[in-house]
Structure 1
């Protein structure tokens, strides 16, 4: 049983976003992991770009082409679908297509589909007009001829709408708690179908108001342990807390986001480093940013 007294009666501020679940397959594990992690790195929703994450890795008996696979997600927080298409294509072209013997398939469920993005314009035409469409693995695939033959991607990738920005903070005494309990939280999220942790263990809580608007969100200074002595009563860092890492969660719907948050908080509080966890809290902006307020206590 977890100690609920360690959990703040506060909420995580979440908002809706569009997501594509895709499946990358490859011949070997190293290439697969490189393609999956490279194409989902650098979360960028706050600056109008793609936010991604690896959902899970699966065996070849669960993939269309019988090879090992990675389920990945690519999220977008704006309504500009043309920009979504372009931003998505950067991730695919630069981080998946260039890896030897990779393929990409749609993995968004038809039941969750809002619409789809055709891959020919921004990805297929990397073949410079020599690309073609063929039916393979029970899918309509674009074949892009490249020097290590050949990259294949499903012609249409479906997108749905889900929850972005669910989060919690685990306030720690030790570095070991930050890293080891955080790893367990990420593992727990990867066991929840449809959920990702786009930032992994995140060191940088942010706030909306800023002295440098061209940067975007800047440091949430009341929660910076290194500033506690300098900012006096403004500081909200509890006694004995030296680190405040954050876990951000995106889920294909609210139930998925809640389950991933529950499982990951439980993983932190049930870890061997639970004695070094002072409090569980969450990032919010008093309800001014997100469409949804997810109270931490409501998920247990």
Structure 2
């Protein structure tokens, strides 16, 4: 096989990957084919798109079959326009489908995916944050259309190509089909033209001013002898081109190399072969910075074949060094002692004397830490251990871990009010019980409580509109009244029950309650997803006049919620009571949604309560 000493010239593009799932592979493919239609060339289509590969159920966020598609455009603005139109007209409209971002959220700048399409719900749409991704649930006639809010835009490479020069049409088609099959099997690439093959290769410009491109007459057998510089000889009767776009130059190079390897057996003069040469289209290096040299690819040197500078890898992040601290309470405080500022991050880099001198708050006094605690180094940097020899002593120590942003804080014993208040990162483990307002206005991180908790857990402070706004809060025991009052975001796991007015005025987030609840659960519920496992709790919810049976197929959302809850349960440390949550995890079957209530109708009516156990009282049937 003759490999021309030339290169394929490619250019930068903007790209994104979408994952389209459906109830079965047939409908997923219908949506993917429609969404990637009329997308062969940016010259007239606005984008280049294609199906990258089929996805197994274990490769998709919702556990259903699906396909990955890639969409390329010349700018992020045009890509955003194409994504919204194609998903809105071809995926949203297709029965049972959902669509997700197929690239990591931090891979590039986000563009709208479901963010604009949500308005089709006309006020009935529900925003949901699950496993770090924000989703929109849009009501449609067969249930819900679920879509990630955004999808990231990354740098791509467009225009990699092979020109297959053959004896006749049959030989050219044979070689093109063989090459296309091998090339599209490489991850991270698409072949945007029909069947991956182009008969109408083009050159830049035309004798007609209105056209920006015209037929590549140098490779047209019918133009042999009619153009001044033909690339063909009399033995070549047909030329076909394969164009490849990829998420990286390496992906394009590997795809072209796979194509060259695939057609090697067809480079014969007999009837079974007929492939005479392989060439590539370029414009002397004026079109784009990516040059894929065919002979280097043919010699299996893909890295050397790419004449483009690779970006340098980022420097490794610094790893903190040093040790943590162990603080042991010596005596029980007569008044409530507030530990504001006593955090893993504030102790990093301090010596023992500096730690001992840190001020605490005891009423109007500011005694040094050494008045109450013995100080000793322990563990690794970023770790703080509080030890209360008498478990009840810690109940007078308030605001442990308040405002924490990173590190690990372990409490051996009970703790007072406002544990983890306003924390935004790190992990707190209380190996005992806590008093009121644990996780109040929490923004992120993880707070694990091995015992019981008091009132207003994950709630808002008086006068504040927002309660918990992110993170994971787990309670292995029981919570008090007003659990999750005005909670706005995050996940709350309660293995036991809760007191009166649990979930009052819940704005958003996900809450699981394993035990009984007091009076008026979900009063003023605006949005959010609640899972109730106790029959008595379900009966109490059904007695609330503002909660009504919810209909429609919500299996996609339920699958995502159930899977994420199981993942969150596995994140609970053993020492913080993970065993108490395992029965809960075992009952979270993600295959079919349980009965559901909607409400509170006195407000938005967009909240939902999933009822995972049958109601024990025959006089209170599931409505």
Q: Normalised by the size of structure 2, how large is the TM-score?
A: 0.44
Check conservation: 1:167, 1:282, Cα contact below 8 A: yes
**Cα 1:30–1:253, aligned 2, differ >3 Å: closer, same or farther?**
same
Instruction: Name 2:42's counterpart in structure 1.
Output: 45
Q: Does 1:201 align with 2:182?
A: no
For 1:5-44, list aligned pairs within 5 A: 6-42=2-38, 43-44=40-41
Is 1:225 paired with 2:228? no
Q: Which runs of 5+ in 2 are unaligned?
A: 300-623
State yes or no: 1:55 paired with 2:49: no
Secondary structure of the 2:37 match is coil
Rate the CA distance shift 1:120–1:106 in 2: closer, same or farther, 3 A: closer
Q: Distance in 1 between matches of 2:290 and 2:5?
A: 16
What's 2:98 paired with?
103
Q: SS of the residue aligned with 1:151?
A: strand
SS at match of 2:17: strand
1:216 aligns to what? 212
Residues 68, 233 of structure 1: alpha-carbon distance in 2 compared, 3 angstrom cutoff:
same
Q: Residues 268 and 274 of structure 1 are in contact (CA less than 8 Å); yes or no, is this contact kept in structure 2?
A: no
Q: Which range moves more in the overlay, 41-50 or 149-158? A: 41-50
Change (3 A) 1:110 1:131: closer
Separation in 1 of the partners of 2:18 and 2:24?
18
Q: SS where residue 244 of structure 1 aligns?
A: strand
Alpha-carbon separation, structure 1, partners of 2:102 and 2:191: 18
| 1:91 match | 86
Larger Rg: 2
- Counterpart check, 1:134 vs 2:128: yes
The 1:92–1:228 alpha-carbon spacing in structure 2 relative to 1, beyond 3 Å, is same
Does the residue aligned with 1:248 lie in a helix, a strand or coil? strand
Aligned residue for 1:211, secondary structure, equals coil
Partner of 1:74: 71
1:296 to 294, 297, 306: 294
Cα distance per residue 1:197-252 (max 9 Å; x no partner): 111111111010212343431111221112225x0543322322121111111111
Contact map agreement 2:15 2:73 (CA 8 A) in 1: yes
Per-residue deviation, 1:261: 0.5
Give the aligned partner of residue 285 of structure 1.
Answer: 283
Correspondent of 1:261 among 256, 262, 283? 256
Q: Which runs of 5+ in 1 are unaligned?
A: none
Give the structure 1 partner of residue 430 of structure 2. Answer: none
Question: Offset at 1:296?
Answer: 0.9
Q: Deviations over 1:51-109 (max 9, x none)?
A: 1111111211211111111111011113xx33321122111112211111111111114
4+ long deviations beyond 6 Å: none
| RCO higher in structure (CA 8 A, sep ≥6) | 1
What count of residue pairs does the alignment treat as equivalent?
292
Question: In the alignment, is the contact (CA less than 8 A) between 1:47 and 1:216 conserved in 2?
Answer: no
- The answer (yes or no) to whether the contact 1:50–1:88 under 8 Å persists in 2 is no
CA-atom RMSD in angstroms: 2.2
Contact 1:22–1:71 (Cα < 8 Å) also in 2: yes
Distance 1:122 1:286, change over 3 A: same
Offset of 1:22 from its aligned partner? Answer: 1.1
Distance 2:143 2:130 in 1: 15
